[in-house]
Structure formats: C-alpha cells, structure tokens
Amino acid sequence: MLQQAQGADGDPSRVSKDFDAGPIDRANPGATRPRIPFTAAAGALSIATNAACDADCERFPVITTFPAYDFTIKIEGDSMAPDYLSGDELACRFVDYPANIKWGEPHILDTRDGVVFKIPYFGGDQIMCRSINPDGPSFLVDCADVLHVASIVGFTRQLQP
C-alpha cells in the first residue's frame, strides 16, 4: 500500500477504508469517529488478520482538542512504553500518500499479518518496525504487505485508581 491511494473514480481524496471516517466537522458537535474493534499489538505482528467495517465499530464523540483524526484504536503490550502504555487509546489519521509518512515517528501499520503499533523506518522494499522500549521486538515488514498506515495525532489514558 506504499503507493498513492485513490478512490474508485481516481480521486485520492475519496479513498474508502471500509468505514465512515471523514475529517472532523467542528461545526457538527454530534460528530463521531469509529473505534476499531480490535487492539493494535505493541509487540510482534499478530497471527490472525482482522478486518473492520463501519458496522463492526463502536462510534464515539470526536475529541475536539485533537487535530483531525479518522479513528481510534486501543493498544496492548509494553514495547512502546514508557511513552505509550497498554490500554491507551490512540487517535489516528490515515496517511494516504507515502511521502506523508513521518519515518521515525510512531504509526499504526495495518498489514496482511495484523495491526501493529511501532516506529517505522523505510528500507526500500521493507519497513523496519521498532519499539520505544529497548526490550521490545523489532522486525521487518515487506512494503507489499502494508495495507494502510495511520499517524498518531493524540491519545487518551485511563487513570489508575
């Protein structure tokens, strides 16, 4: 997917991600965004491939203090600690142009092997996925196996009692 995504009519601004996740409409206080119904592994790639559509997603009110985002997803695992903790919910914006990927910054990668939360580094035909936690795994993903990429624009964390 590391090529310019386009809608059915060839317009890159009309890319379908299988659920309704348009840009934030600040004039619409009832606007919502979907929560993807599975967690992003903050460790190694998962074994099962999951796919979400709008009917599978809970919808939550837009957090208007965040920059524009398309969806939220919870993370699990400690490989991105101490910056991101298991249970954090990430607000994510799809990256539709490979040139807009911020290599070396945390991203969600939707791959043929699952959804992963890592710091990607471009390496030609492969992407090196690294952890923040030095004990966390690093691994390579073929660019051809990347279905979607999303940048992180904000996150929420539940306070522990």
Residue 4 lies in a domain: no
Q: Could you tell me if residue 6 is inside a domain?
A: no
Structural domain range at position 54? 32-156
Q: Does pLDDT of 161 surpass 60?
A: yes
Query: Does residue 149 fall inside a structural domain?
Result: yes
Q: How far is CA 62 from CA 25, 29, 31, 36, 123, in A?
A: 9, 8, 6, 14, 35
In a domain? residue 147: yes
83-92 per-position pLDDT tens digit:
999 999 999 9
Residue 14: which pLDDT band, with cuts at 50, 70 and 90? very low
Asked if residue 69 is part of any domain, the answer here is yes
Given a cut of 80, whether residue 97 has pLDDT beyond it is: yes
Nearest to 73 by CA among 95, 49, 55, 52: 52
Count of domains for the chain: 1
For residue 23, being part of any structural domain is answered with no
- CATH code for the domain in which residue 96 is found: 2.10.109.10
15-68 pLDDT, tens digit each = 334 444 445 455 566 788 888 876 776 554 433 334 556 667 889 999 999 999
pTM score, whole prediction: 0.75
Residue 84 lies in a domain: yes
Q: Does residue 133 sit within a domain?
A: yes
